[in-house]
């Protein structure tokens, strides 16, 4: 009976051990799930914080857009109010036609610069690629000659090593002892030459691979080209300024370009406004006139090139004071007055 009792006691102890082990194994997955939940909670908090910041940024942008929209609506309401009154309607028409005349001059200069830049970029890109291909051809010839010479040297050295190995294998007699030692020395030297030849061949092939992988990188117009285009743009702006000055509308157009709303009574009564609108249409046609335009621009640009000064070697926009030293025909106030808002047009 005592043996049976002890046996049952041992069984119960084994059962407790199994239960403890089972609880430990069950606890491990629970701990892993808890850690996973904590990580998810942290990630969710980060995402929530980022979402709140994005919402705040969007709210700020909406407020800015609402402010801009309100300002535009005020301008439109003011314009409607002026157009609704006979005494201010013609004033508004003249004002906005003058602003459009100024924008026309600016667009003409911008179009001129864009055309010159496109043509010059095309010329310089073709010249750059032609020079690149010429230099690549010369270098390729030299690299190919080096590769061919290295291959021939490596082949000759390998043949020499093979011949010495074959010759050494035939020296098996005892009286060949000293001869074998001399041949082994020659073979050792030949192996070193073979290694050096293989290294030279590898370097030559790597140089050829690097040369084939090189790609041309056109970085844009040269400083001299950008300076020439900018001087031509200033010359064109001066031509337009003089044409508009001959019509008597330059000052009025210049003043209108710097304001958003017309000054009451600035352009006179209805009849005067009608005449000014007719003069504006005539001025538009004069600005758009292209007859004998290029020779005039070329002559003025050549004159500007002689007096233009730059603050640094890399600067491409001339100093405004250097182009307006006096009232001579070769001077220009386009830069000093920022006529046609030319600084927005010039290349950098």
Residues 6+ apart with CB under 8 A from 325: 307, 331
Instruction: Give 70-99 pLDDT, tens digit per residue.
Output: 776 666 666 555 655 666 678 888 888 899
Rounded Cα–Cα distance for residues 231 and 114 (Å): 14
Task: Report which DSSP code applies to 221.
Answer: -
Rounded Cα–Cα distance for residues 133 and 130 (Å): 5
Task: Using a pLDDT cut of 70, give the percent of the chain over it.
Answer: 84
* 268 half-sphere exposure, CB direction, 13 A CA radius: 9
Query: Comparing 109-113, 195-199, 236-240, which segment has the lowest mean pLDDT?
Result: 195-199
Q: Who has greater pLDDT, 275 or 178? A: 275
Domains of the chain: which residue ranges?
1-84, 97-129+221-344, 135-213
Residues 6+ apart with CB under 8 A from 253: 98, 99, 101, 102, 244
Helix 86-169 with 270-288: angle, nearest 10 deg: 20
- To the nearest whole number, what is the mean pLDDT of the chain? 81
Q: Which of 238, 223, 226, 208 is nearest to 298 (CA)?
A: 238
Rounded Cα–Cα distance for residues 177 and 343 (Å): 91
Q: Do residues 168 and 176 lie in contact, with contact meaning Cβ atoms separated by under 8 Å? A: no
Instruction: Give 143-199 pLDDT, tens digit per residue.
Output: 888 888 888 888 888 888 888 777 777 877 777 777 778 877 877 888 888 888 888
């Amino acid at each position: 009976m005592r043996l049976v009792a002890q046996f049952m006691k041992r069984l119960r102890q084994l059962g407790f051990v199994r239960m403890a082990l089972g609880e430990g194994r069950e606890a491990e997955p629970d701990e892993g799930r808890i850690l996973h939940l904590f990580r998810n909670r942290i990630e969710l908090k980060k995402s929530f914080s980022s979402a709140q910041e994005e919402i705040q940024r969007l709210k700020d942008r909406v407020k800015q857009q609402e402010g801009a929209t309100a300002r535009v609506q005020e301008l439109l309401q003011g314009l409607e109010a002026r157009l609704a009154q006979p005494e201010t309607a013609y004033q508004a028409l003249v004002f906005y036609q003058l602003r459009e005349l100024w924008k026309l001059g600016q667009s003409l200069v911008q179009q001129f610069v864009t055309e010159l830049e496109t043509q010059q970029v095309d010329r310089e890109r073709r010249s750059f690629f032609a020079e690149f291909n010429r230099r690549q051809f010369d270098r390729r010839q030299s690299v190919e000659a080096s590769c061919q010479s290295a291959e021939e040297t490596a082949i000759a050295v390998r043949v020499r090593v093979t011949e010495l190995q074959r010759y050494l294998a035939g020296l098996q007699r005892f009286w060949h002892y000293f001869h074998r030692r001399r041949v082994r020395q020659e073979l050792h030297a030949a192996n070193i030459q073979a290694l050096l030849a293989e290294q030279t061949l590898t370097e030559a092939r790597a140089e050829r691979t690097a040369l084939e992988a090189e790609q041309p990188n056109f970085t844009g117009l040269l400083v001299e080209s950008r300076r020439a285009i900018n001087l031509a743009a200033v010359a064109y702006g001066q031509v337009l300024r003089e044409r508009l000055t001959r019509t008597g509308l330059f000052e009025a157009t210049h003043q209108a370009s710097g304001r958003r709303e017309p000054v009451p009574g600035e352009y006179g009564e209805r009849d005067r406004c009608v005449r000014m609108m007719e003069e504006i249409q005539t001025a538009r046609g004069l600005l758009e006139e292209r007859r004998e335009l290029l020779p005039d621009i070329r002559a003025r640009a050549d004159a500007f090139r002689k007096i233009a000064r730059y603050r640094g070697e890399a600067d491409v926009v001339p100093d405004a004071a250097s182009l307006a030293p006096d009232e001579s025909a070769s001077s220009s106030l386009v830069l000093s007055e920022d006529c046609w808002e030319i600084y927005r047009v010039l290349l950098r």
